[in-house]
Structure 1
Amino acid sequence: MTLTTIKVTREVRDLLKEQAAAEHRTLGEQIEYLVERGERERRFERLRQEIAATPPELLASYREETAWWDTLENG
């Protein structure tokens, strides 16, 4: 693994260090966590947009099918 240096303000560095310590992570692990969290949020935002763009008839079909599967699971 290659390491690198990034430039951030002291305030940001100190905040990251506080967050990392509170979660028992290293500073690098905290940055990785925040990057992964940001990626996850972007994926969910894309999913929300795709759901919003789904035609009503397809959304109704999906809801009917999932309701059917739920009856099997609970049934």
Structure 2
Amino acid sequence: MLKGKMLRQTLDKFLKNSEVSKEARVQVCLPNGDLYDITGMHLMENKLLGYRETHRLVITIDTEKWTMGKVLKKL
């Protein structure tokens, strides 16, 4: 499970001094290998009383608008 703080730290490392990262397309890879484009991110409040996690960040996705070429390598 990824928390907001770790998400921020990871994004900061990617974006700090890299123009390539700043302009890169952002996608989500599902366990079956399908890729989806991220369309938004929302902060949601949980309505359950006594639950230890009172809020959540929800990322909304949609099917790829255009298919990208095959990945060459992981950097």
Q: Decide which structure has the larger Cα Rg and report it.
A: 1
TM-score, scaled relative to structure 2: 0.25
TM-score, scaled relative to structure 1: 0.25
Give the number of the structure whose residues are more often helix, by fraction: 1
Give the number of the structure whose residues are more often strand, by fraction: 2
The structure showing larger relative contact order (alpha-carbon pairs under 8 Å, at least 6 residues apart) is 2
